[in-house]
Amino acid sequence: MLSLASAGAVTFAIWCSQSNSVFGRSFRAGWLRYMGKISYCLYLIHQPVYYVLGAKLVRNSIGVGTGATIFVMVLGFVASLAISSVSWYLFESQILRLKDRLEYHQQPPAVAAAV
């Protein structure tokens, strides 16, 4: 059921993004497109950031509890977003500028050596 619900949500999002409905306009929002642009680095970086903040910084200085957990979640999201943004502008966007200069040449399939 979870797979079917996920597939339905993706299908709905694709359909809405092509229309000029309320849903379609919201899917084309600038902040949402920006989050999509930096999402891969955000995915890679969020766990180490939460580990450093939660396990090292907060537990040693603030302690544990609901307030500390909420603090780690908010600060971790902001820190992950900042790191991902810096990575996008300093690293990923520079590499993407090179894609026009690089050509893809498909290799012919390797022929197995006859024994």
Residue 110 within any structural domain of the chain = no
- Confirm whether 44 is domain-assigned: yes
Question: What type of residue sits at position 11?
Answer: T
Q: Is residue 94 part of a domain?
A: yes
106 domain-assigned = no
Please indicate, yes or no, if residue 49 is contained in any of the structural domains.
yes
Burial class (CB in 10 A: 0-12, 13-18, 19+), 92: middle
Rounded Cα–Cα distance for residues 108 and 113 (Å): 15
Does residue 58 sit within a domain? Answer: yes
The range of the structural domain enclosing residue 21 comes to 2-100
The total number of structural domains that make up the chain:
1
Is the pTM higher than 0.75? The answer reads no
What would the pLDDT profile of 24-79 be if each residue is shown by its tens digit?
Answer: 777 778 888 899 899 999 999 999 998 888 776 666 666 667 777 788 888 899 99
**What radius of gyration do the chain's Cα atoms show?**
22
Tokens of 104: 């893809």
- Integer CA distances (angstroms), 101 to 64, 104, 106, in order: 52, 10, 16
pLDDT at res. 5:
93
Q: State how far Cα 99 lies from the chain centre.
A: 21
Q: Is residue 113 part of a domain?
A: no
Amino acid at 59: R
Mean pLDDT computed over every residue of the chain: 82
